[in-house]
Structure 1
Amino acid sequence: MENKIIQGKTIKQWEEQFPLINKIVSTEEVLWVNPKHEEFEETVKNISLKEEDVRDAERRLKRFAPYIAKVFPETQKTKGIIESPVVKIPDMQNKMEDIFNEKILGQLLLKCDNQLAISGSIKARGGIYEVLKHAEALAAQNDMLNERDDYSIIDSYKFREFFSKYSIAVASTGNLGLSIGIMSAKLGFKVYVHMSADARQWKKDLLRSKGVTVIEYKEDYSKAIVEARKQSSLDPKMYFVDDENSTNLFLGYAVAAYRLKNQLEKINVAIDENHPLFVYLPCGVGGGPGGVAFGLKLVFKDNIHCFFAEPTHSPCMLLGLMTGLHNKICVQDFGIDGVTEADGLAVSRPSGFVGKTLENLMSGCYTVEDEKLYMLLKTMIDSENISLEPSALAGVSGPAQLFKNEAGRNYIEDNNLKDKMNNSYHIAWATGGSMVPKDVMESYYKRGKNILDKKSADN
């Protein structure tokens, strides 16, 4: 394996250039600080997407709100705006200090995208937005819809019959498929969701119950996306949602940042130079966390520090950013199997679009063992009565990793943050969980309990 050539170098040569690769290949937990991280105002000049693009997405979601409220009654309270709360989780913070044996300075909060309406995960942002944008464009091209219309008119036989002439395809490890499938089917589209081997059975069953065609693969996400792309290329009336390269998905996620700012103000959390914000985003291919991070940087600029969180067995974005190779490499190139219980993060090759867009904006990446995800899952239920799916817990360990890891402590020091950490805020982005069946969640909880009991006995 050491002599295998990856983009012109052996693994040994890569390890000499980036010593951390040795630990990554051994699937140890690591925290990597991005040496290319730069000040926001300099970096944003070189990014093609602008704030106006995010504002345009925000306006489109508002236009669709009357339709969403009509067809998804659970969104009526928020008048058709799909949004989740942000909550302080002090009991979980205390428990984490015990688990990691590390003091966490500042306040820990949870952004509860596990509660998002319609599909119960962060994918309800970008996935639903992209489907709505496509539907709007088709209807407008056929003189059926004008921006000044009340979009609740879309809930009609006329529109469903029109959309049924078109198809939508997507590849997914689970949650993106749910958001695309549920929304597309509701509008009337024919939908094809290509699911990788790690996708949970209950997610496939739920999609099929909505009339979605689910195509399963024994391989991982990389195979599913190749096949989805191939299928859509053969049908001019089929639209492919490209999780690796879609600016529409990215912008749908980015809208979250403006809403978060308003939510924080309502709970008296002010982010400024003396009150820095750290955000920890579970990351698969990168579209969701990348879009959110981009929006957050637009809003909070240099007062926010964004970290991607990945499983130790699938650290594709970390390897892509660290080497600068982005989507030119996959974890298997380095002998990592890509197999993880965190189904939403089970991606072997990162998005080149996201990696290149954010390579100067991200503060870093860290990895988490699957066992820790289950330990934290049980602890979150016990301490805060909040149920998350395993992949959603990847962001929760971020603050402990930041303080415990030498690279994290150096980051705090190098960015003149040491004296501000008592006044800091940490947001773990909870990406999914509310739609997990009760018996499945109970099995996750038991697994976490067994792991913690064993650790306790060993000590």
Structure 2
Amino acid sequence: MKLAEDKSREVFHDHTIQVGSTGNLGISIGIISVVFGYRTVVHMSADAKEWKKELLRGHGVIVVEYEGDYAEAVRKGREQSKLDSRSYFVDDENSRSLFMGYATAALGIQEQLQEAKIQVDREHPLFVYLPCGIGGAPGGITFGLKQIFGDQVHCFFVEPKQAPCMLSGLLTGLHSQISVQDLGLTGKTQADGLAVGRASGFVGKTMEHFISGVLTVDDEKLCPAIQMCYETEGIFMEPSAGSAIWGPVRLFSEEEGREYLKKIGCSMEGSTHMIWATGGRLVPNGVRKQLLN
């Protein structure tokens, strides 16, 4: 692979990749950028877990920490990147390219459903529950799924009760112009990847046409969810991903959910429900035990 050869790495070494993150985006961008030889800087908020910072530093990534939240890390990272003509900032808040990159995940889902012989049509609707922070990943995935399955896929975002930034933006129509702190919420949550006070305005405006709904989850329900999944399926996930487990529970058990199902008028007997459970494989064993206990 040409890009991984020494000649390419020598060129990349004179350039910098930067990103603002509470964790998983920083891990993915950080590690792959170092592999290609870039000088790599990840700007992380106070909500980011210590083991994620240590993992990045172990790969040679420069980690810059901030006392503020995700918004501050992104803002400062963007400002620092602009000062260097050879620096590129991976902007989860406003990047159309990153958004479309997330959307390609839908092609993988389509392939896996076909391999499993799972139909998606009016008699066999697909319901997808996605953890939501600033909105880039769940928004892009939803956009991609809608291009493939149209009205036969129903996508719900799941957010922590103290950090429902996408819900706040959608309900008010203010999108990035309102923060959860404006509503008296803390923006703090054990689901560090979802600890975002202000949603992406670009994603929020786009999702007005595609999203089926947004659900919120109490923090104390996150660890029981990941414990249940680990004990029954042998799959470990982070608290952020565990939030999505409550998606179908809320949809079927609460009045608003039942009203939605009645409105769309499709059969639940043949429906498929998918939890978008990214995150978990890199969590150190000691941290896993703490969360499961």
Give the TM-score range, shorter chain.
over 0.9
The aligned residue for residue 237 of structure 2 is: 388
Residue equivalent to 2:199: 350
- The residue that corresponds to 1:217 in the other structure is 66
Determine which structure has greater relative contact order: mean sequence separation of CA pairs < 8 Å that are 6+ residues apart, divided by chain length. 1
What runs of 5+ residues in structure 2 fail to find an aligned partner? Answer: none
Give the structure 1 partner of residue 291 of structure 2: 444
Q: Is structure 2 residue 124 aligned with structure 1 residue 271?
A: no
Q: Is the radius of gyration larger for structure 1 or structure 2? A: 1
Deviations 1:63-83 (A, max 9, x none): xxxxxxxxxxxxxxxxxxxxx
For residue 341 of structure 1, the aligned residue among 162, 187, 190 is 190
**Stretches (4+) displaced over 2 A:** none
Equivalent runs, 1:67-86 vs 2, <5 Å: none
Which residue among 296, 314, 334 is the counterpart of 2:163? Answer: 314
Letter in 2 for 1:389: E
In 1, Cα distance between equivalents of 2:207 and 2:188: 26
State the Cα distance separating 1:434 from its structure 2 match: 0.6
Q: Which runs of 5+ in 1 are unaligned?
A: 1-151, 447-459
Q: Give the partner amino acid of 1:380.
A: C
Equivalent pairs counted in the alignment come to 293
Tell me the distance in 2 between the aligned counterparts of 1:360 and 1:254: 15
Of 241, 266, 290, which residue of structure 1 is paired with 2:139?
Answer: 290
Counterpart Cα distance in 2 of 1:267 and 1:184: 34
2: CA distance between counterparts of 1:224 and 1:245?
A: 15
Corresponding residue number in structure 2 for 1:179 = 28
| In 2: Cα distance, 1:378 partner to 1:425 partner | 23
Secondary structure of 1:423's partner?
coil
Aligned to 2:268: 421
Which of 78, 81, 93 is the equivalent residue of 1:244? 93
Q: Select the residue among 49, 53, 74 that pairs with 1:200.
A: 49
Shift of 1:357: 1.1
Q: Which residue of 1 aligns with 2:5?
A: 156
Q: Read off the aligned partner of 1:438 and give its amino acid letter.
A: N
Question: Cα RMSD over matched residues?
Answer: 0.7
Deviation per residue, 1:145-200 (Å, 9 max, x gap): xxxxxxx0222111111001111111000001001100111111111100000101
Q: Which amino acid aligns with 1:316?
A: C
Q: Whole-Å Cα distance in 1 between the matches of residues 185 and 228 of structure 2?
A: 29
The question of 1:401 aligning with 2:276 is answered no
Q: CA deviation at 1:256?
A: 1.1
Which residue among 261, 273, 280 is the counterpart of 1:412?
Answer: 261
In 2, Cα distance between the equivalents of 1:236 and 1:398?
44
1:259 counterpart letter in structure 2: G
Taking the aligned partners of 1:169 and 1:286, their CA distance within structure 2 comes to: 19
Distance 1:260 1:227 in 2: 35
CA distance in 2 between counterparts of 1:410 and 1:204 reads: 43
Cα distance, 1:279 vs. partner? 0.4
Q: Give 1:425-436 correspondences, 5 Å limit.
A: 425-436=272-283
Q: Distance in 2 between matches of 1:221 and 1:240?
A: 15
Paired-residue identity, %? 53
CA–CA distance in 2 between the matches of 1:230 and 1:153? 32
Task: Indicate the residue corresponding to 2:82 in structure 1.
Answer: 233
**Cα-to-partner distance string for 1:119-162 (whole Å, 9 max, x where unaligned):** xxxxxxxxxxxxxxxxxxxxxxxxxxxxxxxxx02221111110
